[in-house]
Structure 1
Amino acid sequence: MTRLKLAIPSKGRLKDNAENWLARAGFKLRQSGGDRGYTAELKGLPDADVLLLSAREIAQGLIDGSFHIGVTGEDLLNDLSADLARDASVIKRLEFGGADVVVAVPSAWLDVNTMADLEAAGARFRQRHGRRMKVATKYLRLTRNYFAQKSVGEYRLIESAGATEAAPASGQAEVIVDITSTGTTLRANSLKVLDDGVILKSRAALAGSLRADWSGGAKEVLQKLLASIEAVESADATSLLVVGGKVEESLRAELGLTEISANSFLSPSGKAVENARKLTESGVNSVSILKSDFIFSQATPSYEAFIAQFSTRA
């Protein structure tokens, strides 16, 4: 039986958030070798091997098929893959790890506010200094593609090995392409994002490799994992209304209720209180609002959508 290989970030907020997200779905992480170990297991998912790696290593491993699924940034997947549709697929976009990949220039460049302005500034810079302006980044492919799309050619790309936002102040580069979530670090380094300089709005994502070996039981383990994740999402999105009385079909349709039994209905969580009030106004004796940790269904849409990609590639 092929074991499912799952990779999650090895440290920082991404690791903590990924670990908490899995725990909510009933899969508690236990790290092998203590906090410094790079392998782990998930309680409740015994047929999965868990690897703890950097987000960049995870993205690369998904792209080359070293493991089946992983939690990493969409920015890295898009940067490292020359053809992401062939290499990997985002299964779930997660509610953490949000950041934008942006083009930033020194705030003192008052006349440079757009990518078109940057191209003009690059031409002037080359004429004045006898070289192209340098753009520092860890996102080489994303930068090349976006600059080409915006018809910017007056630059030379250099790969950043450290804190990219410090490159202009240290003289290593004039422009940077980097990730930012709040813009605070950019402002602290006297940098500004160009008006049309957002290359990609990125989030952490659970992604699956389209190049990994999915034979054996790996698909079944993935289905079990995703079924629990979707059960949590369904529970978050809905509330159970237990009604003391008959609810007419027309009122159920009006309120968007899904009948579970004669006296139990699912309601969108954001409308649960309002719907309960309307039910009592219609003559129902009482309405209780209950929250569940999990609501399972027979279908697992995210699993089915991911697996369907293999048939379209055949």
Structure 2
Amino acid sequence: MTRLRLGIPSKGRLQEETIAWFGARGVTIARTGAGREYAGRVEGAPELALVLLAAAEIPGELAAGRLDLGVTGQDLVREEIPGWAERMEELAGMGFGFADLVVAVPAFWIDVRDMSDLDAAAAAFRARHGRRLRVATKYRRLAREFFRRHGVADYALVDSAGATEGSVKNLTAEAIVDITSTGETLRDNHLRVLDDGLILRSQATLFASRAGRDTPERRALRIALAARLGLAAPAGA
């Protein structure tokens, strides 16, 4: 029997809220594996086969067509998949997993309020120190595009392998680009979001792949599932 492969986060709060979202629409998702085994089942939607993956893996699997549907953050899709809108479609924002991707600087930089100020500060930093101002992030693509749109050039992105918010305090960067939900961690680390430093508002989203095999049977399954979930059918279904 042909079924649509649905990828959901394999653990944590995102998984719990994803299960609750589908449950509110009459589709029951349950873990079946013992211990740390990633296995599960779906009840109430015979057209679905469940795949449990890390949220960061789901964008690539959707883009490659190995998943038909997937739940992950908009930030991960936009960062990981160039030309993402040609390779997948947003079916529904799910109302949880909210986070903002922002540019933040040390709170004591009182003269740096927006991206134009940051551009001037970066130029002054290079003139004074002989190197570019470092910006720590896990979101290199989105950061680079945002800085280019704002005309900021004298900076260097540095990879953040751990807690990005601690990079300035640890003297491995002068500013950061990172995800925040409440801003509390930024404040705890004496950082402040620039007035125009919002790069992206993200939330957990149900995506449909545009890369999978397209047959009349699979189109019928997509239409049936969309109706079951109360959603518009995916484009091309």
TM-score (ref. length: structure 2): 0.94
Match of 1:178 in 2: 178
Identity %: 44
Match of 2:20 in 1: 20
1:307 aligns with 2:203: no
Output the amino acid matched with 1:5: R
- The answer as to whether partners of 1:2 and 1:215 remain within 8 angstroms in 2 is no
Deviation per residue, 1:172-206 (Å, 9 max, x gap): 21111111111011101111000000001111110
Output the amino acid matched with 2:209: S
Q: What is the distance in 1 between the residues matched to 2:73 and 2:165?
A: 19
- Gaps of at least 5 residues in structure 1 are 231-299
Measured on the aligned residues, the alpha-carbon RMSD in Å equals 1.6
Q: What is the distance in 2 between the residues matched to 1:210 and 1:137?
A: 29
Match of 1:32 in 2: 32
Match of 1:120 in 2: 120
- The answer as to whether partners of 1:114 and 1:196 remain within 8 angstroms in 2 is yes
Q: What is the distance in 2 between the residues matched to 1:101 and 1:85?
A: 19
Q: What is the distance in 2 between the residues matched to 1:34 and 1:191?
A: 43
- The answer as to whether partners of 1:3 and 1:217 remain within 8 angstroms in 2 is no
Q: What is the distance in 2 between the residues matched to 1:218 and 1:37?
A: 29
- Gaps of at least 5 residues in structure 2 are none
- The answer as to whether partners of 2:3 and 2:46 remain within 8 angstroms in 1 is no
- Counterparts in 2 of 1:147-296, with a 5 A limit? 147-215=147-215, 217-230=217-230
Change (3 A) 1:22 1:34: farther
Match of 1:135 in 2: 135
Q: How many residues align?
A: 237
Secondary structure of 2:220's aligned partner: helix
Output the amino acid matched with 1:89: E
Could you say which structure has the greater relative contact order, defined with CA pairs below 8 angstroms and 6 or more residues apart?
2
Output the amino acid matched with 1:199: I
- The answer as to whether partners of 2:89 and 2:208 remain within 8 angstroms in 1 is yes
How far is the alpha carbon of 1:159 from its aligned partner? 1.9
Match of 1:68 in 2: 68
Q: What is the distance in 1 between the residues matched to 2:51 and 2:235?
A: 22
Output the amino acid matched with 1:99: A
Q: What is the distance in 1 between the residues matched to 2:59 and 2:131?
A: 34
Q: What is the distance in 2 between the residues matched to 1:54 and 1:107?
A: 34
Q: What is the distance in 2 between the residues matched to 1:165 and 1:217?
A: 48
Secondary structure of 1:72's aligned partner: strand
- The answer as to whether partners of 2:136 and 2:164 remain within 8 angstroms in 1 is yes
